[in-house]
Chain A
Amino acid sequence: MKSTVQSILRNGTGWLLPALIVLAWEIAARTGLISPNVMAAPSAVAEAFWRLLLSGELVRNIGVSTARALSGFVIGGSIGLIFGLANGLSGLSRNLTDTTLQMVRNIPHLALIPLVILWFGIDEEAKLFLVALGVFFPIYVNTLLGIQSVDPQLVEMGRVYGMSRTTLFFRVILPGALPAIFVGLRYALGIMWLTLIVAETIAASSGLGYMAMQAREFLLIDVVVLSILIYALLGKLADSFARLLERLTLQWHPAFQTA
């Protein structure tokens, strides 16, 4: 009994500070310390949430944004993974492409927004392109790093025991590179939301970013704040998912062993 209370307390401590902030915020808004034109009260945000949920607008916009984010992520992530694997395994491929990729990497991908709007207008392709480009590099760089840092002694061991190239890849190289690939994955998930929000804020006709920009036009501060909170929640959700995946696949790693 005592231990369950303790564990609730321990797990709950992380949420203590946000709860206090929300409470202070509500009090400040109610007493008029914060003007309603500057910041909406938490209760007003909750109200906006309920209103948009009932009208179906919120679900539709979250759905549109999530679909964009994930498809961009899948496209950019798989290309990054393929290039990372190829350049990690083959010196020829690395010599051929790495210099080019490193040059492109140093261009901030959001700087391409004007160009992308010229190319694709404000259609889906524009968002997919930007998200894919943003996600590509963290995955590529970390996959390459992961493969290059696989213990050469283990690779030699695999060869001595007569592993074929395929077996060597799946039994030794890929598992060895996995921790680094996961670092890239979590990084990429953050960049995925960031890119999408910026792209949707600038050029879109649907989605969360569009919803926030529309609300700004009509001075609906509660909806603007709600959009920002939903971004935070979605980002946290993506990160938790990546960590769950990490914990499942890296059970062997001392850092993930509970005992």
Chain B
Amino acid sequence: MSVIALNPKSEAPVNATRETAEARALRETSPGQWFPYAAPQPRARDTRENAFSFRGISRKFGDKTVLDNIDLDVPAGQFIAVIGKSGCGKSTLLRLLTGLDKPTSGTLTVNKGTAGENRTRIMFQEPRLLPWAKIAKNVEVGLTGIAKGAEAREKSLAILNEVGLADRAEEWPSVLSGGQRQRVALARALVAHPYILALDEPLGALDALTRIEMQQLLERIWLQQTFTAVLVTHDVAEAVALADRVIVIDHGRIALDLDIPLERPRRHGSPELARLEGQILDTLFGEKAG
């Protein structure tokens, strides 16, 4: 895990400059350098109604209980990360939320957005683009039943511009890199302005640098569009860097529900993030790990 920042590699000469090593690292890695955006503002949709709530939700596959009596309320606009070892049921949680699966027992309430629309979008680990449709057409899939023709085209180009792929609109998915394809998948999920965006380890297959870039992009768009984000991940650093709140699922139950009250943009490897990461890893592996 990225605890490197706890022991700065080089001591900055004290007299030569006022800038400490830590401050320089902050300046150099600040996301603002890559994606300039305004400092975090109060979220627009801050009425704190729940985006969705799980009440006593269980999901069994035969004898195996994957989710065991889960209670979870997620306020609208929150960025929540769900962490767990593989097979802990975190993906099942997401499939229940998006309606791909039904709970064995319990009630699941998904709120509608302000416009009365119920748009829950999911972004998969794989881009799942249609190889026979040009990039813009793939993004228009996100507007199925919502917009058509010139309007759909306009919206898809606008969101492609947002993810930095406006110039690739007329290309086939096969010529894009893995990171670019995942950005197209993000654009497709966002083009209809979802109320809830479920992310099923969408960055898991990307290389480390592309992943950090995608995290910045995701955070920036989330700050702009104020949807509720549910990120399932196995990367603890990613979870604490992006989320307002982290849920750890272990053996089908919520083992930890932790708020991350840090300012945005957050810096990878800061001591506070490292401390929270440690706390989460302790829950996952017991006290031995800490």
Nearest CB of chain B from residue A118's CB, rounded to whole Å: 47
Q: Name the one of A154, A163, A259 contacting B144, with C-beta atoms under 8 angstroms.
A: A163
The yes or no answer to A32 lying at the interface (CB within 8 A) is no
Residue-wise, chain A 141-184 has the 8 Å CB interface mask toward B (1 for contact) of: 00000000000011011111111100100011001101000000
Nearest CB of chain A from residue B122's CB, rounded to whole Å: 6
On whether the beta carbons of B128 and A157 are closer than 8 Å, the reply is: yes
Residue-wise, chain B 114-140 has the 8 Å CB interface mask toward A (1 for contact) of: 000000011010101011110000000
Q: Which of A162, A163, A254 has the most CB of B within 10 A?
A: A162
The yes or no answer to B74 lying at the interface (CB within 8 A) is no
Interface of B is mostly: loop
Nearest CB of chain A from residue B40's CB, rounded to whole Å: 30
On whether the beta carbons of A171 and B141 are closer than 8 Å, the reply is: yes
On whether the beta carbons of A160 and B100 are closer than 8 Å, the reply is: yes
On whether the beta carbons of A175 and B141 are closer than 8 Å, the reply is: no
Chain A residues with Cβ under 8 A from B188's Cβ? 161
Chain B residues with Cβ under 8 A from A157's Cβ? 124, 128, 141
Which of chain A's residues has its CB closest to B122's CB? A160
Q: Name the one of B126, B142, B175 contacting A161, with C-beta atoms under 8 angstroms.
A: B142
On whether the beta carbons of B128 and A252 are closer than 8 Å, the reply is: no
Nearest CB of chain B from residue A152's CB, rounded to whole Å: 10
On whether the beta carbons of A254 and B100 are closer than 8 Å, the reply is: no
On whether the beta carbons of A257 and B100 are closer than 8 Å, the reply is: no
In the complex with contacts A153-B124, A160-B122, A257-B145 CB distance below 8 A: no
Chain B residues with Cβ under 8 A from A167's Cβ? 144
On whether the beta carbons of B100 and A252 are closer than 8 Å, the reply is: no
List CB contacts (< 8 Å) of B73-104 with chain A.
Answer: 98, 100
The yes or no answer to B222 lying at the interface (CB within 8 A) is no
In the complex with contacts A160-B100, A162-B144, A257-B174 CB distance below 8 A: yes
Q: Which of B131, B133, B174 has the most CB of A within 10 A?
A: B131
Nearest CB of chain B from residue A161's CB, rounded to whole Å: 5
Nearest CB of chain A from residue B101's CB, rounded to whole Å: 11
In the complex with contacts A161-B144, A167-B144, A251-B172, A172-B100 CB distance below 8 A: no
Interface of A is mostly: helix
Chain A residues with Cβ under 8 A from B132's Cβ? 175-176, 178, 250, 252-253
List CB contacts (< 8 Å) of A226-259 with chain B.
Answer: 250-254, 257, 259
Which of chain A's residues has its CB closest to B99's CB? A160
On whether the beta carbons of B128 and A257 are closer than 8 Å, the reply is: no
Nearest CB of chain A from residue B71's CB, rounded to whole Å: 26
On whether the beta carbons of A252 and B124 are closer than 8 Å, the reply is: no
Nearest CB of chain B from residue A217's CB, rounded to whole Å: 53
Complex CA distance for A63 and B121, rounded to whole angstroms: 57
Nearest CB of chain B from residue A19's CB, rounded to whole Å: 39
On whether the beta carbons of A154 and B130 are closer than 8 Å, the reply is: yes
On whether the beta carbons of A153 and B174 are closer than 8 Å, the reply is: no
Nearest CB of chain A from residue B95's CB, rounded to whole Å: 10
Complex CA distance for A157 and B128, rounded to whole angstroms: 7
On whether the beta carbons of B172 and A171 are closer than 8 Å, the reply is: no
Which of chain B's residues has its CB closest to A161's CB? B144
Chain A residues with Cβ under 8 A from B130's Cβ? 154, 171-172, 175
Chain B residues with Cβ under 8 A from A159's Cβ? 100
Complex CA distance for A160 and B94, rounded to whole angstroms: 12
Chain B residues with Cβ under 8 A from A250's Cβ? 132
On whether the beta carbons of A153 and B128 are closer than 8 Å, the reply is: yes
Q: Name the one of B126, B133, B145, B174 contacting A254, with C-beta atoms under 8 angstroms.
A: B174
On whether the beta carbons of B131 and A252 are closer than 8 Å, the reply is: yes
Chain A residues with Cβ under 8 A from B124's Cβ? 153, 157
Chain B residues with Cβ under 8 A from A175's Cβ? 130, 132
Nearest CB of chain A from residue B125's CB, rounded to whole Å: 10
Chain A residues with Cβ under 8 A from B173's Cβ? 252
Complex CA distance for A167 and B124, rounded to whole angstroms: 21
Chain A residues with Cβ under 8 A from B122's Cβ? 160
Nearest CB of chain B from residue A63's CB, rounded to whole Å: 37
Complex CA distance for A160 and B121, rounded to whole angstroms: 7
Complex CA distance for A78 and B248, rounded to whole angstroms: 55
On whether the beta carbons of B144 and A257 are closer than 8 Å, the reply is: no
Complex CA distance for A167 and B12, rounded to whole angstroms: 62
On whether the beta carbons of B133 and A252 are closer than 8 Å, the reply is: yes
In the complex with contacts A160-B100, A160-B122, A163-B144, A154-B172 CB distance below 8 A: no
Nearest CB of chain B from residue A239's CB, rounded to whole Å: 23
Q: Told that A160-B122, A175-B130, A176-B132 touch, could you supply 6 new A-B pairs with CB distance under 8 A?
A: A153-B124, A156-B128, A160-B98, A161-B121, A164-B145, A252-B172
Instruction: List chain A positions with a Cβ less than 8 A from chain B.
Output: 153-154, 156-164, 167, 171-172, 175-176, 178, 250-254, 257, 259
- Offer 8 A-B interface pairs, CB within 8 angstroms, sorted by A: A160-B121, A160-B122, A161-B141, A171-B130, A252-B131, A252-B132, A252-B173, A259-B175
What 6 A-B pairs come out closest when comparing CB atoms? A175-B132, A252-B132, A157-B128, A252-B172, A254-B174, A161-B144
